């Protein structure tokens, strides 16, 4: 579904979007972010309404949520409605992370990745990672695909914006040149969340983890795990142990974490500036040292 509602993410507009897309009256709207709202429905129930200024971005997020939900192996909020700018999904009742939920997250991710994708890069061609465009161009082999479509585009942007110096960019370029030897054993395309930092995992009151805000595409399963580790995750050791028990990871996977983290780190350099440049260069040097 497409639409022309572009008058911004004001609370009244969120209410109208929910009424039109869900077909239920609204009794209250509560802002939980600059463009994200909890909306109380007439008769009970709460949904989350999210405004995307970029035309079509809401539809891409909806597609990603549905694609992740399709195998039925991880908890994903149901998409209740979507148009050109608004996405409406079920609310997840907030809880706290627990050891039991961490084990479920690890096992669920293993099953999700095993559900597979048609190719590396499978996904909406015009996609996003955060607020940056992310091209989903398919490729038959992961190493060259990762270097060409997940590292180099953001490396170029970071250098062009002078957020990454030539000296800092050099080890990243060297990783691309040596991608075949540092990539590890071949893996089939996995069904990735694609932006799996801790903020995109919700923990409910029933010890169940939920995935939100995907940049879903076909990729390497170690990429989701590396991003989960990048900024910290509660009970991460339990998540990884449960994953490895359900779907054993290839030998040397811990040595490849820095390789997979180059993509989100470069995205952060482009989005937020040189504060992430040193961390990015250091990750590239760790890859080259393995």
Residues identified as active-site = 195
Alpha helices in 74-220 (DSSP H): 99-115, 142-146, 152-160, 166-177, 179-182
CA torsion 188-219-280-267 (nearest 10°) is: 170
C-alpha distances in angstroms, 38 versus 29, 119, 145, 181?
6, 36, 39, 48
* Three-state secondary-structure class, residue 77: coil
Residues 287 and 170: beta-carbon distance below 8 Å: no
Please list, residue by residue across 114-137, b when 16 or more beta carbons sit within 10 angstroms of its beta carbon and e when fewer do. Answer: eeebebbbbbbeebbbeeeebebe
């Amino acid at each position: 579904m497409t639409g022309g509602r572009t008058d911004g993410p004001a609370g009244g507009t969120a209410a109208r979007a929910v009424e039109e897309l869900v077909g239920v009256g609204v009794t209250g709207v509560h802002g939980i972010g600059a463009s994200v709202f909890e909306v109380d429905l007439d008769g009970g129930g709460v949904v989350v309404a999210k405004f995307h200024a970029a035309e079509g971005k809401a539809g891409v997020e909806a597609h990603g949520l549905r694609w992740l939900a399709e195998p039925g192996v991880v908890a994903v909020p149901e998409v209740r409605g979507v148009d050109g700018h608004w996405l409406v999904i079920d609310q997840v009742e907030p809880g706290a992370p627990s050891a039991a939920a961490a084990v479920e997250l690890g096992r669920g991710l293993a099953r999700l990745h095993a559900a597979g994708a048609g190719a590396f890069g499978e996904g909406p061609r015009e996609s996003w990672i955060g607020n940056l465009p992310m091209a989903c161009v398919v490729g038959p082999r992961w190493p060259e695909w990762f270097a060409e479509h997940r590292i180099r585009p953001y490396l170029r942007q970071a250098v062009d914006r002078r957020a990454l110096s030539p000296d800092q960019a050099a080890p990243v370029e060297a990783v691309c040149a040596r991608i075949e030897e540092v990539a590890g054993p071949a893996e089939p395309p996995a069904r990735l969340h694609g932006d799996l930092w801790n903020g995109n995992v919700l923990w409910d009151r029933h010890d169940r983890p939920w995935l939100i805000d995907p940049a879903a595409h076909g990729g390497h399963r170690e990429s989701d795990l590396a991003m989960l580790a990048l900024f910290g995750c509660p009970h991460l050791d339990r998540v990884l142990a449960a994953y490895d028990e359900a779907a054993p990871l290839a030998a040397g996977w811990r040595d490849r974490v820095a390789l997979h983290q180059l993509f989100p780190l470069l995205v952060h350099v482009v989005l937020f500036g040189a504060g992430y440049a040193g961390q990015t260069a250091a990750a590239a040097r760790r890859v080259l040292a393995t």
